[in-house]
Amino acid sequence: MVDTRPFLPVSSSDGSNPSEPLANRCKTMKVLLSIFFGLLVVGLFAALLASNVTENGHGSLASSTTAKPEPLRRVSRGPAAGVSEKSNWLFGKDDENGVAFPWNNSMLSWQRTAFHFQPERNWMNDPNGPLFYKGWYHFFYQYNPHAPVWGDIVWGHAVSKDLIHWLHLPLAMVADKTYDKSGVWTGSATFLPDGKIVMLYTGSDAEAVQVQNLAYPADHSDPLLINWVKFTGNPVLVPPPGILSKDFRDPTTAWLTSEGKWRFAIGSKINKTGIALVYDTKDFITYEKLDGLLRAVDGTGMWECVDFFPVSKTEENGLDTSVNGPDVKHVMKVSLDDDKNDYYAIGTYHEKNATFIPDDPTIDVGIGLRYDYGVYYAAKTFYDQNKNRRVLWGWIKESDSEAADVKKGWASVQSIPRTILLDQKTGTHLLQWPVEEIDSLRLNSYEFNQVKVQAGSVVPLEVGPATQLDILAEFEIDKEALEKATGSNVTFSCSSSGGTVERGALGPFGLLVLADDSLSEQTPVYFYIAKGSDGNLKTFFCNDQSRSSEASDVNKQIYGSMVPVLEGENLSLRVLVDHSIIESFAQGGRTVITSRAYPTKAIYGAAKLFLFNNATEAGVSASLRIWQMNSAFIRPFPNLDNKSQ
């Protein structure tokens, strides 16, 4: 049934019932007073106990008492050491008097995810060297073992049989050599023809110079790859002439050339031009720097975490990194230090001169398409030979204040691993989709067929607590309204549109996730159709965080981009909700948005799900299937002495 409440209510009912008889109300009042004083005594006793409670072993507050507001302070973490900014600044240079929201333990505990990978405590950022080996998926990551802020970076390590249920292992590599004393930074794994593994990674040396180092497993017979050896000849590469000491990092996975050499790229810049240097090696000990560049794009600044891999033009399988040929396109992805986003381009790799040429220069690397239009950075793929697919990992950073991260004792998570393919229908986009193993967490399901959502209305979806969900939805817009809508030459943009309060004839419409009953907190995931003066339609996929929380110290941006919708396609989306993370996929993954939400009221059982349509003219119908999701129960690896079993 349609909810006739205002789309964005400013208040909710106080729960009183004026028609109740006075005698009954007086009797009720006496009972309530008795209960009140009883609870007051219990509360005073609990407060005395809580005053002696300290922080628990996971770094979260052991008491749910609301903390006093604290001033926010600007702290820069990363650039001085030669990497991108890792601190989340929520206020401008002229506003040094920001106040932290008084989060309590209940709110902070809710924010921790149930099925996304994250360490037990402290800081995490870039994914490193993911691979599949002897029956186990391995995931390495940038980790601070001492605090929930960036610094003291080493390599964390976890394994899984299915990319979902992870088991923590001991640290893989620590900063114990002169060439990585200031940090064991991002790297990539390469499989040799005999099945052995080499890992190239960036170290920040004792003088904060970025150098490349070689590491390999101490025991290739160990399926868990617990112990790693650093090559005695490290560093194997130092910044070449013309490259600054802090602009030389993040080697890619290597690929074989037709001459039998291994080739890989390293991110850098010259002035404001982002570049990818190219190296060849036969043995990963001696290296030859090639004269040219894999790619360079003016104005894009420092390129971090470069990734380079083939995709098939004809099949839906992933390809080994060394594959090339007439039925292959190549993808080049860079993480831009300047704006903290991941960009990709699709094009052709020319082995002879080691260059990548994009199919469309107007959407070149760093100026065109993005993997994800939300909070997503430093992504890395690997070829999964176990299932013949390419899998994408990405770092989801926090969007709250550093003060809140310190209180809860952890910061950052990883995205659900995604398969990544060429969109053969458009030829211009990639398709990203959660790995199929995530479906194993599905519990109760709910189906809603052809739900009519009139213009200006909200429809509640009764699915129980809406904290852990997997949502599949299709929308059909009223065709008559679509044809009658007047075109406009006004250019629409998700980020500058004002969010869901900006109404058009054909949108916005979609889902309200992590919403409370009164809709005072809500995170809309939605489509907006813009009709041009020429009658052509453009569809946008957006995520509006502006009302995601009543807290003052969280990011409330509006994310999104245009998404291609081909003739005959309905509008479709998939949304994974996992506490403070929302991953949204439109049109089979052509456009993806990841966001963080930190509600203060729409948590636990109070988190609800709604359909909405805030268009002024067009009605829509929606069909959905929704699953409650189980936890992945990520935990330490049990009984490491029996690790081979």
Question: For the chain, give me the number of helices (H) and strands (E)?
Answer: 4, 36
Structural tokens at position 286: 């001696």
Helix, strand, coil percentages, rounded to 5, for the chain: 10, 40, 45
C-beta of residue 178 within 8 angstroms of C-beta of residue 206: yes
Among the listed residues 185, 183, 154, 182, the one whose alpha carbon sits nearest the alpha carbon of residue 170: 154
From residue 338, alpha-carbon distances to 82, 85, 302, 304, 600 in Å are 13, 9, 7, 10, 32
Collect all residues with Cβ–Cβ distance below 8 Å to 523 and sequence separation of at least 6: 512, 513, 514, 515, 543, 544, 545, 547, 548, 582, 595, 597
Residue type, 67: A
- Specify the 3-state DSSP secondary structure of 407: helix
Structural tokens at position 609: 């799900």
Query: Of 95, 126, 439, 641, which one is the catalytic site residue?
Result: 126
Residue 347: how many CB atoms within 10 A of its CB?
20
Is residue 126 annotated as part of the catalytic site, yes or no? yes
- Specify the 3-state DSSP secondary structure of 493: coil
Cα(601)–Cα(523) distance, integer angstroms = 13
C-beta of residue 379 within 8 angstroms of C-beta of residue 305: yes
User: What backbone torsions phi and psi does residue 402 show, to the nearest 5 degrees?
Assistant: -60, -35
Q: How far apart are the first and last CA of the chain?
A: 54
Cα(344)–Cα(255) distance, integer angstroms = 19
**How buried is 558 (Cβ within 10 angstroms: 0-12 exposed, 13-18 middle, 19+ buried)?**
buried
| Total number of residues shown for the chain | 645
Q: Which residues are catalytic?
A: 126
